[in-house]
Structure 1
Amino acid sequence: MNLYDFNKLDLNERMETVNQLGTFLDNYVTKDVRINCYAINKFFVEVHYDAEHNTITDVTAFKYGHNLDKYSKI
């Protein structure tokens, strides 16, 4: 699976792919935001949660960049 193929999937298929192929790396939690970060092959996936409704709101993929900054403990 590559990033292009992953981005063509719908939300449920993306989540299934994360469950089957993803390696959990870290999470980012604030008062309003809950995000888990996973690695699949050579890209990263963020799973966004709505804690109030206990639902997944978004699953986004990327290769690098500012999306990774929130996981550094500086």
Structure 2
Amino acid sequence: MELYDFNRLELNEQMEVVNQLGAFIDNHVTKTERCNLYAVDMFFVEVVYNSEYNTITELRSFKTGYLLDKYSTGF
């Protein structure tokens, strides 16, 4: 699946792709949100949860960039 095709899907369809094809890489936790990073084919998907209510608030899909920076801290 290409990133463009993934972005055209509805949220529920995107989550289905992440659950079926995604490989979990890492998570990142702050006071306001919890993020899980997955690799799907040749791009990444960040699943963002509201920490207080434990609900998915957003999916962020990307190939490279600053969104990966928070997962490389501490090494």
TM over 0.5: yes
Query: Which whole-Å CA distance do the structure 1 matches of 2:40 and 2:48 have between them?
Result: 16
Question: What is the aligned length?
Answer: 74
**What is the identity percentage for the equivalent residue pairs of Structure 1 and Structure 2?**
62
Match for residue 23 of structure 2? 23
**TM-score for the superposition, normalised by structure 2:** 0.93
Runs of 4+ in 1 over 6 A off after TM superposition: none
Distance 1:58 1:33 in 2: 10
**Aligned runs of 1:31-50 on 2, under 5 Å?**
31-50=31-50
Structure 2 unaligned blocks of 5 or more: none
Q: Which runs of 5+ in 1 are unaligned?
A: none
Q: Which residue of 1 aligns with 2:61?
A: 61
Q: CA RMSD in A?
A: 0.9
